[in-house]
A and B are shown apart, each in its own frame.
Chain A
Amino acid sequence: MSQDVINVIIAQSPALLIAIPLVFAFFCPFIGKISNTVRNIWVAAGMALTSAIALILAWDVYAFGTRIYVFGAQAANLALPMDSGGIPVRIIFTVDPMSALMQIIAAITGLAIILYSISSEQRHSGLSSFYTLYLLMITGIMGMVSTGDLFNFFVFLEILSIASAGLIAYRVDKGLAVEAALKYFVLSTIGALAILFAIGIYYGEYNALNIAMIASRMQFTVLDQVALVLIMAALAMKCGSVPMHFWTPDAYSMAPSSITAMLVVASQASLYGIFRVLFTLYNVTLNTATVGWIIIVLGVLSMVVGVTMAIPQKNVKRLMAYHAISQTGYMLLGVGVGLAVLGNQPLMDSFGYVAMEGGIFHIINHAMYKGLLFLTAGAVFFRIGTYNLNKMGGLGHSMKWTMVFFIIGALAIAGIPPFNGFASKWMIYESVYVFNPILAVIAMVVSILTLASFVKVFHSIFMGPKLPEHADVKEAPLSMLIGMGILAVIVILFGIFPEAVVNTLIAPAAHALTNQGAYISAVLGGA
């Protein structure tokens, strides 16, 4: 490949990140008419290409700084056309290290899941629609984390919600999956309307939809406070924060396992939205202590209610869904502590940045180990046809690789060293303890309960004698093992080399999030 082609790819990568999954999604039903094998190759190629573009763009952003991409402009970096009156009127993608980190998460998880899905979904019909919706889901996530425009964020959020609802309902399952999808969709729509209303408030007040533009003009009036709460609550509900989490166990448990793993990333895109609004749109104009504590309380409630509700569950996916809620609490706690002390530079330097880095590090770690755990649950379901823990046992004799991957994921989520979950939790414990020791103690107790819960799951699924009803069970197919293997390797590597990951990926993301001035000047050029 010539250098010119590479340069064009890098220059157009923000647009390609959306265009590629959209094009592959559009043609998927037509390709599916040819044969299932060709369709599988088509979607795997589409996802591989999207992942490659995401990684190239992320590399470019981490190496050379925030990327601006203006759709329809004479030059991709021309944010303020001469005749626009100083307002960025076009759709602008603003990809800073925080956005790039989210793209990396979606790229890696998305690729692992598509490899897994080729085997896990092979018995089902309607797969062309399934993969079309999956690629639309990827489009929605990539768009949400890349855009620098609030209305555009809303559009991608809707694309994600519609595609996700379709995939949650995909297996119907005597209507239960459809009911779960309906709950998700109704709540998502109400949340999206609240977000749209908030965007209308910003447009009415500041005559702009661009995040950097609104941030540069932010007054934090009562209307801005209303808009903040509407967006924050809607996205907190979308990311499964307690007490707005009720849709999560229903949707996560009824969706196909591969989709559940991707729903984790989708929830994290909403979490990204909260952080982007709080830090980039408002930053120190808001009462950081008050809003920071609101985020912390939501985080603590999520951690405690999530884990305690997980322990008595009998359905392995419902149990894991409650753990996903619990782990989201750690992210909210870490970043909430950072927000609470945002205006105080000595406290930020002392523990604020570490808390934020811990919270952000936990996002990528959670996507990897929770994705892995949902995939192992799917592999077990693929072989024995049930998620009911009471009907499982002794599968460690016949599904050794799945068991190994489960152990890796379970130890990581429980915060056992040297897996990745420990590294990010350790950063959260250490920093949050300085802020408020009680919060750190709660976080540690939640980790212990998480371990207890996964000991139960491990025993129920894999331990004990080989049961007569599962005598013929075989290991999961190779492509499913490869999908799980990719995530398992990352869980281990991120756990053994956490400092390298934090220095390379996490710290730049945390600093990009807190540095509102840099974000604004990247778009408006100091205007």
Chain B
Amino acid sequence: MEIFSSLLSGSGAWNPLAWLLAFVVAAVIAYLIWARGERSYKKGTEQTAPFISGNKEPPKGDLHVRAGNLYWGYTDALKGYYERIVPLHSGDMNDYVLWYLGITALIMVIVVVFS
């Protein structure tokens, strides 16, 4: 049937159903390993409470890593790039119009010259 055939690109093929089958097999293997795990584990008991070297657990809200703290290293490493690209997004409509007109003029020159 056509719906089960592979997607072809001319140089490669992609069949999501074969991929799904492999995924299911991997999931079954993972389940079998998990099923042989520690049986004395009981959810919601003292076993699952965090142990922070005897210190009191902070409020739940303080434990969540907020979005502002994520990928700090990434943005810091690319600081030079962001220092240039972010100011371009000035929020000023005059800048937006100038960018549009400037790019139109640039494309115009390229198209007319190369044609």
The chain A residues found within 8 Å of chain B, CB to CB, are 182-183, 186-187, 190-191, 194, 220, 222, 225-226, 228-230, 232-234, 237, 243-244, 246-247, 249-250, 286-287, 290-291, 294, 305, 308-309, 311-312, 314, 350-351, 354, 389-390, 392-394, 417-418, 423, 426-427, 430-431, 433-434, 452, 456-457, 459-460, 463-469, 495-500, 502-503
Contact = CB atoms under 8 A, between A and B. Distances in A.
A459 B71 CA distance: 12
Contacts of A496: 16-17, 20
Interface string B70-93: 110011001001100110110101
Given A191-B100, A290-B111, 5 more contacts: A190-B100, A228-B111, A243-B88, A459-B65, A465-B61
B14 interface: yes
Given A222-B112, A243-B99, A308 B7 contact: no
B7 A427 contact: yes
7 contacts: A186-B93, A226-B112, A294-B107, A354-B10, A418-B16, A433-B11, A499-B6
Top 5 closest pairs, chain A to chain B, by CB: A389-B67, A430-B9, A464-B64, A465-B60, A418-B16
B9 A452 contact: no
A364 to B, nearest CB: 15
A469 B61 contact: yes
Interface residues of B, number: 52
B87 to A, nearest CB: 12
Contacts, number: 167
A504 to B, nearest CB: 9
Given A233-B100, A308-B81, A390-B66, A430 B11 contact: yes
A384 to B, nearest CB: 14
A325 to B, nearest CB: 11
Contacts of A183: 93, 96
A355 to B, nearest CB: 9
Contact of A426 (B7, B70, B81, B108): B7
Given A190-B100, A417-B16, A496-B20, A351 B10 contact: yes
A393 B14 CA distance: 37
Contacts of B95: 246
Interface in B1-49: 2-3, 5-12, 14, 16-17, 19-20
B65 to A, nearest CB: 7
Given A187-B96, A233-B107, A468 B115 contact: no
Contact of B104 (A229, A465, A498): A229
Contacts of B66: 389-390, 393, 460
Contact of B7 (A232, A460, A466, A498): A498
A148 B15 CA distance: 38
A61 to B, nearest CB: 20
Interface of B: 2-3, 5-12, 14, 16-17, 19-20, 59-61, 63-68, 70-71, 74-75, 78, 81-82, 85-86, 88-89, 91, 93, 95-97, 99-101, 103-104, 107-108, 110-112, 114-115
A123 B91 CA distance: 30
Contacts of A309: 85-86, 89
B2 A186 contact: no
A423 B99 contact: no
Nearest to B63: A465
Contact of A498 (B16, B88, B93): B16
B64 A394 contact: yes
Contacts of B112: 222, 225-226, 229
Nearest to A291: B111
A191 B114 CA distance: 24
A502 B61 contact: no
B2 A499 contact: yes
Contacts of B6: 499
B67 A308 contact: no
Given A430-B10, A469-B61, A417 B93 contact: no
Nearest to B14: A426
B89 A460 contact: no
A294 B113 CA distance: 13
A348 B101 CA distance: 33
B14 A423 contact: yes
B70 A220 contact: no
A462 B67 CA distance: 11
A426 B3 contact: no
